[in-house]
Amino acid sequence: MRQALELAGVDIRRHTEPLRSENAEVLRQIGLSEEGQRIFAEFSFDEELTVRELRFAQANCFKKNLDWEDDFHCALRTGLLLIGSGLNGDPIVLDLREYHVGFLSHDCFWEQEEEDPRNFFISMHCSVGQFFLNAVTTDGYPVDAYEAAAYTGAQSTGHLSLEEE
């Protein structure tokens, strides 16, 4: 992750802020591994950071999101932690079962609230750090769920097969 941020021109020292205890507690409560907890503690920033067209959310917003954001709860109930967003607003999520990062199609996620968000999850099959590093080092790396589905060969982005879109 550090390398990805440096390559993206982010001044890590300028934006670093300690992970507050209430946010660290949220990570423990949801069962995030110790390694995952360390990642969010190490990469806790005072604002959302942009890596290419991808945004990495503030770790110090987890408690606020847990208290106030229905989308955060909806994803979390199925083991998906919202950690950022893509170019078109598609949420970037960490799969708490596999510890892979991917996208949720926002069209499906926001419009089909009764459905399991995992139906709209496109895994990029990599860690948080590798995901953002790929974004700055790999030409054509996806910036939303549609591109992720095409890139990974997924059959759909949740509601329509790619042939129907």
Least reliable range by pLDDT among 30-34, 52-56, 65-69: 65-69
Is the dihedral angle over the CA atoms 41, 26, 75, 126 positive or is it negative?
Answer: positive
Distance separating alpha carbons of residues 139 and 73, to the nearest angstrom: 33
The pTM score is: 0.89
Q: From start to end of the chain, where are the E strands?
A: 49-51, 54-56, 80-85, 91-95, 101-104, 121-123
Residues in the chain: 165
Q: What residue ranges define each of the domains in the chain, with the CATH number in brackets?
A: 2-152 (3.40.1580)
What's the pLDDT tens digit per position in 81-121? 999 999 888 999 999 999 999 999 866 555 656 677 788 89
∠ at Cα 77 (90, 161), nearest 5°? Answer: 45
pLDDT range class, residue 34, cuts 50, 70, 90? very high
DSSP-derived letter for residue 18 is: P
